[in-house]
Amino acid sequence: MKIAITGGTGFIGKHLTQYLVERAHQVVLISRGIYTRGKGIITDENISFVRANVTDTAILTEAFAGCTAVVQCAGTSDDPSQTLRQVHVEGARSAVTAAKQAGVQKFVLVSYLHARQHQHSDYLTTKWHGEEIVKHSGLNYTILKAGLVYGPGDHLLTNLGNLLRRLPVFATVGVHEKTVRLVAVEDLVAVIHAALTDDRLSRRTVAVIGPEEFRFSEAARRIATAMGKRSPIVLPFPVLAQRLLALASKIMPRPLISTSQVQMLADGISTPLPDSQPLPDDLAPKTRFTEEQIRKGLPT
């Protein structure tokens, strides 16, 4: 199968590329080519690269030509020149239009577990609008509403690892912390592959969540243990205080936390919304957040 991946050089796109190539698929990576986090893309004769903005319908149509399927992984990046609406909404509309024009048979959108219309979060709202575009596209689609994904080259292990190296303190989002169900990236890419090949997921919106439920501070403790550090001191921090911190840190080269991340953790990242269905048991993520698993993803 020939598969195009938008956001192909991003965190999920890189892992998905390797997974697909190992299974003898041809992959067309579509990216602006500015993402540098983590390891580089593997070199393989079955991988081709197209430099394009996800909102450029004409180039996307050319890139999708001959492809059986498209996986829309394009999302937020460290580049402030693109807005959330451009990436999540206009990008979804361009990709859907290009997929139709190129005769693509399957469209998979990687979205977020709690994407919905939200008065105070452009991230959640624009993700939801992207989902709506795909749902009403007329294409054979699958929307994967994924929880918080971790693995080599991610933000979660990288940022928390760097923080815990410097400070033995972890501030919660909310005095009464909500829970998370972390998803290993290898489990997510296996689900994406199933969405491409398994008719059970056709024209469905499904939730992708990890097998364990715990507070985010527990994730910080496990990461510290995997690093050989003492468990951090957990400080209950009100959501409002975290929102103010996110606003203040916008002026920093590397913000400590974003307003979108504050909202995600304030919501909790463990319970699917009513608009998504559970995965079949044989496809549900089963990788636990163990010390061994954490060490695999920590930056060297």
* Domains detected in the chain: 2-150+181-209+271-286 (3.40.50.720)
Other beta carbons within 10 angstroms of residue 268's beta carbon come to 20
Q: What is the DSSP letter of 34?
A: -
225 CA to centre of own chain: 25
CA distance 148 to 108: 18
CA end-to-end span of the chain: 35
Evaluate whether 271 touches 201 at the Cβ level (below 8 Å): no
User: Which of these, 213, 158, 195, 212, lies nearest to 277 by C-alpha position?
Assistant: 195
pTM (two decimals)? 0.93
* Confidence (pLDDT) at 120: 81
CB atoms within 10 A of CB 229: 14
Tell me what pLDDT residue 38 has: 46
Which residue's entry shows tokens 């361009």? 94
For residues 264 and 266, give the distance between their C-alpha atoms in angstroms, rounded to a whole number.
5
How many whole angstroms separate alpha carbon 94 and alpha carbon 54?
A: 7
Sequential pLDDT tens for the chain (300 residues): 999 999 998 999 999 999 999 999 999 999 886 554 445 666 778 999 999 989 999 999 999 999 999 999 987 755 667 888 999 999 999 999 999 999 999 999 999 999 999 878 899 999 999 999 999 999 999 999 999 999 999 989 998 999 899 889 999 999 999 999 999 999 999 999 999 999 999 999 999 999 999 999 999 999 999 999 999 999 999 999 998 988 886 666 566 678 888 999 999 999 999 999 999 999 999 999 999 999 999 987
Q: Which residue is associated with the tokens 């953790």?
A: 265
Alpha-carbon gap, residue 123 to 112, rounded angstroms = 9
pLDDT at 81: 72
DSSP strands (E only) in the chain: 2-6, 26-31, 47-51, 69-72, 106-112, 141-146, 149-150, 169-171, 179-180, 183-184, 204-208, 214-215, 233-235
Asked if 6 and 70 count as a contact pair (C-beta separation under 8 A), the reply is: yes
Residue 135: what pLDDT?
Answer: 97
* H-helix or E-strand spanning residue 217: helix 216-226
pLDDT of res. 37: 47
